[in-house]
Amino acid sequence: MKNYIKEGKTLDLIAPYTVTSGSGLEVGSVFGVAANDASSGAAVEAMVEGIFTLAKNSAEAWTVGELLYWDNTAKVVTATSTSNKLIGIAYAVAANPSSTGQVRLNGAFIS
């Protein structure tokens, strides 16, 4: 097929801030998980689909299927929708306190 580009589970982006492999990043209306380390302004491959263990708001407890959002100021996943963008759902229960949680990405932001 002449118009096929790629599967789309990863996107080549420009890092808006320094990121390390496995950390979340927000670029416009895209949320992804960095597949490699990148300095601000450098190319980074970002996974936009899948299930990942990500940094979370440690003071929250999550239930399976709970909607989750990206807090681009604190650079963590949160259950708080105010001023944050929807990125997916909780794949597993996460306790309060805990610094990470399992997130299934939805592939795009929903404001």
In a domain, 42, yes or no: yes
In a domain, 4, yes or no: no
Whole-number pLDDT of residue 7: 87
In a domain, 5, yes or no: no
In a domain, 2, yes or no: no
Whole-number pLDDT of residue 109: 65
In a domain, 87, yes or no: yes
How far from chain centre, in Å, is Cα 34? 9
pLDDT of 111 higher than 70: no
Is residue 60 within 8 A of residue 79, CB to CB? The reply is yes
User: What residues make up the domain containing 101?
Assistant: 10-110
CA separation (Å) from 48 to 10, 34, 37, 82, 106?
Answer: 6, 9, 16, 22, 8
List the Cα angle 47/52/56 in 5-degree steps: 115
Q: What is the CATH number of the domain that holds 101?
A: 2.40.300
* More confident: 5 or 90: 90
Q: Considering its fold, how many domains does the chain have in total?
A: 1
Stated pTM of the model: 0.93
Is residue 46 within 8 A of residue 10, CB to CB? The reply is yes
